[in-house]
Structure 1
């Protein structure tokens, strides 16, 4: 087998290694012996008048010069490449805008193996806070560029502790709830708290929106990601478009989405029109919009995971550059390294085990245009807070989801989120009341749960409930592993838990029952429009109602499509 480095330089190198001395010759041409091969050819050429016959060839020095030049070029290339990589990294880090959560979202608990779930609140802002967003969102003709914004899209993204499954739960923007006292760290705008539409909490900063969702659901929120109109456009362009399907012709005269029946690849403004369309799908309300958004996000996730997207350097650069420019995140995600780690965690979850749901709602008795938390929502909250999967390893419904929803029939009249407990420390151990109170709120009990020192030391733990509150007392006892012997009815109102010396540590009573029974998965997804991210053939259902208007005439989105023949489709 020949040496790949064969050649005049290689032969010279081997001669030096062998250290075979040669005769000392004068520099006269007649004294130079003629070697064979290429050297002979060169020598013959010189003797015939070609070249410089008075000088001896020096292949060794020429080889050294070539290697030296190659080494210099390689060094320069390495330095330039490393510099470009460092510039790119710093460039992306400089794109990121991050804010502190200030501990507003609670804290996740690790599982038995020390692994921790991840809960992220993804927010889509309706803010017209730049000229670009004014142009995309409209509505700035009279007000100009605005300062405040609402969270018209809210999704709690839960990634399980073992990274085997994920749940994405949308919360409709029209949900009425209690907004806690908040202050925006950037604008300084503050509120002492109020009852109102959940999306309005973003006016007091992303941390306030996180606190509001945490209070409503009892789910600890570790992180947030916020993007605006421009962000949707940039992200959809960066992935080369997102493929979606509609089951009928649709023209939403409000979001301007216009598509014929079938599958379309949406980029830029067309993608924004699709995710913003509220009148085009379902019943024309925000509930229908959450379902079409799930279809869009599922398609985007499949695109991320597809071969070619993450292996194409240009696509990766465009995606990373767009993402870091488009997103506002919390400090815990405020670097390229942390965002890459999050992307890796998401990538570990198979598409068939990513479940998209919408929080169950009921009409608001005080306002037909608003909704409140509906039946089954508390169970859905509990499945997420307890890190329960809504699918099996095969992606099918879990055994719990296939069973009868017994938990719904036997559930207490008052959900955990509406039960507040006064936890008193009757031990000499500092912090016991706080530890147990934190455990209760992390399980979804009311954030109105408070702590205090017991009036006197207590040897035994007792849970006292007021008249008519036995069911609430049993719910608390079950969550903490307390037996019926610890329960007693008092003469006052409310629930008071006195921690005795028989409970010196931990958030579950020693030797007690399981801290909480698993939530019923079927009840959790009942009326929650659940679907998994691998369902590529799912089409968004166009509204059959007269939810849009063209030239002042109410009509269905399909009728509007037929009537607007002169307007090009969004993907043209």
Structure 2
């Protein structure tokens, strides 16, 4: 036998027709005679080596051809896979519809470590702008498919902290009355000079107008927006394989058509849409109750999204990516697959126990009992988001002091260099007398080293800079944090020590005018008071079915539970 890859085996086959040699006899000198078994074996070995050489040549050539063919197939497979990947990437990019914000929402500022929070306005539109949305939302029998953006019936400000350790999602009830700023929709040219009205109506003048309205009301910079319509909710809930929710009692909302028995349910498609749209089924039957049930739904979706089974299943990932890009309208800053992946990665970094869902506090509108205005505590809630404070501290320890202490500890850990060990040479690069002394004095008052000194800069400077030596970046960050100096003003030099050159962009004061020095922390106790705050890890929280007669069946007012009992022929939403 011979192996086609390794050549002939070591066993030599004897020619059975050859006569076996007889007994050898010694020569006259006692030497072995030529021939005999030794000669036969030698001849056999030589012949075997020549045969081996001939037999090896053909299999080796076949092996090389096989390797070449395998390599070519592998290359084709790789090219094919890359082609599919590129097609998929382009397919997802083509799905995305993006709109410019035109700077209407303000700009977040980086902290002293160069980290920037993310604030996104998540909007759910009631627009019936497609046949699918008309079928899901109803109301198109007379108007037909509508044009325009509709109203923002769901408005949530999603804040992701600069260090990605926590997040806050604040709902703003659609019935809130506020001042709408002057706006013009770049898509259809519809404009307004501004008016006092219901907050969700700003979307009629484009997503940028809705963002500008929220920014004006709250003072929170809004970097991005994400808008979904009715069909988008259906697609997203299907893509994650359903969302698990719980209701406190039997419920039938005759308006949204949600019908469920008491207990836990996994909702997909239209059933999921009925749940998030239900405003008569939960709480007091108003939009305030709906925001709480929406938080329960989104918390469950977040847990599902972050579960290993969802993110490691290629089919689930494809379905989620395809559904998300088809369902969303976003701003230009999120208008590509890579940017949406980056956002998803940032969200995924935040543990669910550090994600707080809350609702803006409201009071009844004095002129209209069906509308609300900003209530007590709302300004504190706005401030916690604008100041990049975590509300999970407020839920666990209702102390603004505790929040400030936690923030200070986080900053100290990040910089790793206490102020007492940092000395700064402060140079005046302006024509204003005393600028270096004022800033240096402020640093020493904040506990910086007494070795901090002052001088005049070699020349005037337009921009303030903080230059640090090799290995002294952390010390520079400590000083920048204390002065409110953005990370973009820090630069590494060739010398040693820290040198702050005050430029014309800092003409007065001891805190950089465009800086990010932390303002006084907001009161987190006030921020979460009456705000229905809960964290996303609370998987056993049930939506509270309304005990009031908020629905009507056959013209008879009744509670959602009474309606469930009366509508025996109506199938359940998840049946």
TM-score bracket, normalised by the shorter chain, equals: 0.7 to 0.9
Tell me the residue number matched to 2:326.
325
Q: Is the 8 A contact 1:390 1:401 kept in 2?
A: no
Tell me the residue number matched to 2:375.
374
Tell me the residue number matched to 1:9.
5
Q: Is the 8 A contact 1:542 1:557 kept in 2?
A: yes
Shift of 1:518: 0.6
Tell me the residue number matched to 2:263.
262
Tell me the residue number matched to 1:81.
81
2:521 matches 1:521:
no
Q: Is the 8 A contact 1:117 1:161 kept in 2?
A: yes
Query: Alignment partner of 1:279: what SS?
Result: coil
Change (3 A) 1:32 1:383: same
Deviates more, 1:369-378 or 1:54-63: 54-63
**Deviation string, structure 1 residues 51-87 (Cα, Å, up to 9, x no partner):** xxx9998211111121111011101000000000000
Task: Tell me, in whole angstroms, the C-alpha distance in 2 between the residues paired with 1:502 and 1:91.
Answer: 46
Query: Alignment partner of 1:174: what SS?
Result: coil
The two structures have a TM-score, normalised by structure 2, of 0.72
2:396 matches 1:397:
yes
Task: Tell me, in whole angstroms, the C-alpha distance in 1 between the residues paired with 2:571 and 2:431.
Answer: 74
Task: Tell me, in whole angstroms, the C-alpha distance in 1 between the residues paired with 2:79 and 2:46.
Answer: 45
Task: Tell me, in whole angstroms, the C-alpha distance in 2 between the residues paired with 1:361 and 1:507.
Answer: 38
Note the aligned Cα RMSD (angstroms): 2.9
Change (3 A) 1:507 1:130: farther
Within 5 Å, which residues of 2 pair with 1:423-462?
Answer: none
Tell me the residue number matched to 1:51.
none
**Deviation string, structure 1 residues 453-511 (Cα, Å, up to 9, x no partner):** xxxxxxxxxxxxxxxxxxxxxxxxxxx99xxxxxxxxxxxxxxxxxxx9961579479x
Aligned pairs, how many? 440
**Deviation string, structure 1 residues 79-106 (Cα, Å, up to 9, x no partner):** 0000000000010000000000000000
Within 5 Å, which residues of 2 pair with 1:149-548?
Answer: 149-392=150-393, 397-398=396-397, 400=399, 504=507, 508=511, 516-548=519-551
The two structures have a TM-score, normalised by structure 1, of 0.73
Tell me the residue number matched to 1:147.
147
Q: Which runs of 4+ in 1 moved over 3 A?
A: 30-36, 54-57, 401-404, 505-510
Task: Tell me, in whole angstroms, the C-alpha distance in 1 between the residues paired with 2:549 and 2:57.
Answer: 92
Deviates more, 1:139-148 or 1:216-225: 139-148
Task: Tell me, in whole angstroms, the C-alpha distance in 1 between the residues paired with 2:101 and 2:505.
Answer: 37
Tell me the residue number matched to 1:25.
none
Task: Tell me, in whole angstroms, the C-alpha distance in 2 between the residues paired with 1:276 and 1:216.
Answer: 25
Task: Tell me, in whole angstroms, the C-alpha distance in 2 between the residues paired with 1:314 and 1:252.
Answer: 34
Specify every segment of 5 or more residues in structure 2 that has no aligned partner in the other structure, as ranges: 9-43, 404-429, 433-482, 485-503
Task: Tell me, in whole angstroms, the C-alpha distance in 2 between the residues paired with 1:556 and 1:156.
Answer: 32
Highest Rg: 1 or 2? 2
Q: Is the 8 A contact 1:390 1:398 kept in 2?
A: no
Query: Alignment partner of 2:546: what SS?
Result: coil
Tell me the residue number matched to 1:45.
none
Shift of 1:515: 6.4
Tell me the residue number matched to 1:66.
66
Q: Is the 8 A contact 1:95 1:325 kept in 2?
A: yes
Change (3 A) 1:505 1:88: farther
Q: Is the 8 A contact 2:243 2:301 kept in 1?
A: yes
Query: Alignment partner of 2:315: what SS?
Result: helix
Shift of 1:8: 3.2
Q: Is the 8 A contact 1:125 1:229 kept in 2?
A: yes
